Amino acid sequence: MWSGPPQPDQGLPPPLAAVPVPWKSTDPCQGHRESPGALVETSAGEEAQGQEGSAATQLDVLRLRSSSMEIREKGSEFLKEELHRAQKELKLKDEECERLSKVREQLEQELEELTASLFEEAHKMVREANMKQAASEKQLKEARGKIDMLQAEVTALKTLVITSTPASPNRELHPQLLSPTKAGPRKGHSRHKSTSSALCPAVCPAAGHTLTPDREGKEVDTILFAEFQAWREAPTLDKTCPFLERVHREDVGPCLDFTMQELSTLVRAAVEDNTLTIEPVASQTLPAVKVAEVECSSTNTCALSGLTRTCRHRIRLGDSESHYYISPSSRARITAVCNFFTYIRYIQQGLVRQDAEPMFWEIMRLRKEMSLAKLGFFPQEA
């Protein structure tokens, strides 16, 4: 019987095995002997029988070997298929793991970016909210200041316009209507001296009274009056309208045209925006240590004209901390322009309730003040 793994020479026929040949021992004690012919026949038959048995044995061995080879080949193919299938599944698993790892990394990166963007947006919103709050507080403060200023102006206008009319002027509010013996200094609130009371004793409809007529005759210019009426229908501070464009060209511009052109431009813009402040200079506020500070001019030199004059007032533009000392002549010119803009603002706000002609003559009076101030006429201060 065959056992053990096949050898590399499985395809070759096995070597001939020794076939046992039956034989009969010859005993010398036997009394008879076989004949030579019978012996030859017997050996030949036995040899043929032995060859047939070895051939059958070889055939069985070959069959066993061939069947075992087929089984082995089939088993090997099956194992190879199983191995190939397992490798495919393992490769798919590796690809799936790699894909899931990439997805996880992408999600982690997106989460970090989202977190960072959320924090940045939150900080931005907080910063914008703080800026808006600061701006709102500043606007509220400015609005309250403007409200207080407007309330004071309205109160003053009510006192001047309502309680004093052209028919019955209030002589307590207008001491210039009193006789020289009764007109004395009044205590209380008084406006800063300007060129309006000293240079034009004709008509003052803004204050609601008529002064003693002078020797000058008056005649309404139809062109100017038509431009004023067109502006009065829709009051505005736009310099492009014909009425204000003429006033700016003929009066405001020349009156505020000083030697120092750069500062003159700033002063004109501040007057038009109503952000110019005129302050009196007190003697006690001018010690010698002030020389070390940064000042735009000295009390002996006018910052606008550049001439050596005694400056008793100074101006401040907007919210700037810088001050500019000005001479009485420069102050009179600035005051004349400020009076004009104040009156047309009152008209625009509806605070002046008069007919067109009195309002027109008041504007002409204010224009006259600007012209005289430009020519160098200004009241002497006490």
pLDDT at 181 exceeding the cut of 70: no
pLDDT at 178 exceeding the cut of 80: no
Chain mean pLDDT for the chain? 76
Which residues sit opposite 316 in a β-bridge?
A: 277
Scanning the structure block, which residue is given the tokens 């051939």? 55
pLDDT at 252 exceeding the cut of 90: yes
Cα distances (angstroms) measured from residue 7 to each of 55, 72, 243, 372, 374:
20, 14, 128, 139, 135
pLDDT score recorded for residue 327:
93
Choice between 119 and 51, residue whose per-residue pLDDT is larger: 119
The one-letter amino acid code at 9 reads D
pLDDT at 27 exceeding the cut of 90: no
pLDDT score recorded for residue 67:
83
Q: What is the pLDDT of residues 199-223, one digit of tens each?
A: 333 333 333 434 344 456 889 899 9
Q: In degrees rounded to 5, what are phi and psi of residue 194?
A: -135, -175
Nearest to 170 by CA among 148, 186, 150: 186
The per-residue b/e assignment along 76-107, b for 16 or more CB within 10 angstroms, e otherwise, is: eeeeeeeeeeeeeeeeeeeeeeeeeeeeeeee
Q: What is the pLDDT of residues 66-89, one digit of tens each?
A: 888 888 888 888 999 999 999 999
Q: In degrees rounded to 5, what are phi and psi of residue 235?
A: -60, 135
Distance CA 23, CA 39 (A): 10
Distance CA 337, CA 191 (A): 16
Question: Sheet harboring 324-326: ordered strands across?
Answer: 276-280, 313-317, 324-326
Distance CA 78, CA 84 (A): 10
Are residues 314 and 324 in contact, defined by beta-carbon separation less than 8 angstroms?
A: yes
